[in-house]
A and B are shown apart, each in its own frame.
Chain A
Amino acid sequence: MGTVVGGIGLSHVPSIGPVVDRKRMEEPAWKPLFDAYVPVREWLRKLEPDVAIVVYNDHAADFSFDKYPTFALGVAERYAIGDEGFGTRPLPEVQGDLDLSIHLAETLIYEHEFDLTLCQEIAVEHGFLVPMNLCFPHQKDAWPVRAIPLQVNVVQHPLPTARRCYRLGQALRSAIEKFPNEVRVVVMGTGGMSHQLQGKRFGYMNEKFDQWFLDTLEKDPDALAQITHQRIMEEAGAEAVELIMWLTMRGAVRGTRVHRHYYAPMTTGMGLITFES
């Protein structure tokens, strides 16, 4: 059967991608962020996951408003690297897990009544790739784990509620545990933390909110799942609403916290929290 061995909440700030590609990780402004992932990668090596399910949002690379799904699951053997308007990053394509994707689609739709959009092609971009860069560094031709994209609308309101995202995570866990084969899964909830990228409030951050979110995600996720989009956007900036995707991860992972880190150099609170089942 499938097992959720761990969960990671982390930010997917786009500027991290070129820093990885140009090997600037040791620069003083970036080192604190990358150093925080050294023990996380060590921990992941010991957990030996086979698959990462990455809960993320596309940033207008491959999904567009002509048809915009609320929840979209990748159902393919592999996923291409997308071009977000800045060129395609030199990364190997992502190997998926078709059998697990099909099982998740069938179980989430039939048993848990989550009406997912099912995607046979997704070109993944920074929302997906930056977390992979931080947790699962790639080799020349491959990533060390298979990965499945689960894309969430956190861009065009009405968005799914935080509670719905949390319940999706709970359903995801149940579905993974019903998979007939042995598979070790890490679920990653990505995005945020506090940030706003438009209007006079561009650059707004709120570390106090972010630390409270990390505390509550660990200690009382049921209560945190009641949070409204309005409150997140007022207190942490409009684009911070991506944080609802961390609740999907938390819904999927019981167990104890292992790592926690926070760094806010420029315009986004970059949080990191891990849980081990």
Chain B
Amino acid sequence: MLHPIPDTSLFDLRLSRRGYRLNKLCAALCSPHERDAFKRDEEAFMARFALTDAEKDLIRKRDFQGLIDAGTNIYYLLKIGSVTGNGLYKMGAQMRGETYEQFLSTRNISGAT
């Protein structure tokens, strides 16, 4: 069994169940046609996945830690990041409460992106 780890999301079945619809939305973004649909009309895209208003708000606000806490798996979140112009390191900086530049300055060799 897993025990809590500070500042860490443990993606277990309960969390996966909570985030199921969010992760479904993200999975759809693995097709170029669906990425275009998201970019064209984000609200219409979100309406297809039975999200709560609170969940939609997390996407509208690009609240990446909020999405993780709501059960979005990190590898699914990457697809929302990509379609909204937020790569992994930008999302990570936000989750750490840092600017992108601050985050890069904490890395050993920040050119390896």
> A residues near B, CB below 8 A?
15, 27-30, 33, 59-61, 64-65, 82-87, 155-158, 196-203, 229-230, 233-234, 237-239, 264-267
A155 to B7, CA, bound (A): 18
A82 to B75, CA, bound (A): 14
Q: Which of B68-113 contact A (CB under 8 A)?
A: 68, 73-79, 82-83, 88-89, 92, 95-97, 103, 106-113
| The 7 nearest A-B residue pairs measured at CB | A85-B79, A29-B111, A265-B109, A265-B112, A200-B7, A29-B112, A202-B92
Known: A60-B23, A60-B27. A200 touches B96 (CB 8 A): yes
* Set of chain A residues within 8 Å of B109, measured between Cβ atoms: 29, 265-266
Q: Is B11 an interface residue (CB 8 A)?
A: yes
In this complex, what residue of B is CB-closest to A59? Answer: B75
* Set of chain B residues within 8 Å of A230, measured between Cβ atoms: 2-3, 5
Q: Contact: A155 with B111, CB < 8 Å?
A: no
> B residues near A, CB below 8 A?
2-3, 5-13, 16, 20, 23-24, 26-27, 29-32, 35, 65, 68, 73-79, 82-83, 88-89, 92, 95-97, 103, 106-113
A163 CB to nearest chain B CB (Å): 16
> Which of A64, A85, A86, A197 contacts B92, CB < 8 Å?
A197
A233 to B2, CA, bound (A): 10
A91 to B89, CA, bound (A): 25
B60 CB to nearest chain A CB (Å): 19
* Set of chain A residues within 8 Å of B16, measured between Cβ atoms: 65, 156
Q: Contact: A203 with B32, CB < 8 Å?
A: no
Q: Contact: B73 with A238, CB < 8 Å?
A: no
B77 CB to nearest chain A CB (Å): 8
Known: A157-B10, A157-B13, A266-B107. A202 touches B78 (CB 8 A): no
Q: Contact: B111 with A64, CB < 8 Å?
A: no
* Set of chain A residues within 8 Å of B35, measured between Cβ atoms: 85
A156 to B72, CA, bound (A): 11
* Set of chain B residues within 8 Å of A27, measured between Cβ atoms: 111
Q: Contact: A199 with B95, CB < 8 Å?
A: yes
> Which of A64, A196, A197, A202 contacts B27, CB < 8 Å?
A64
In this complex, what residue of B is CB-closest to A27? Answer: B111
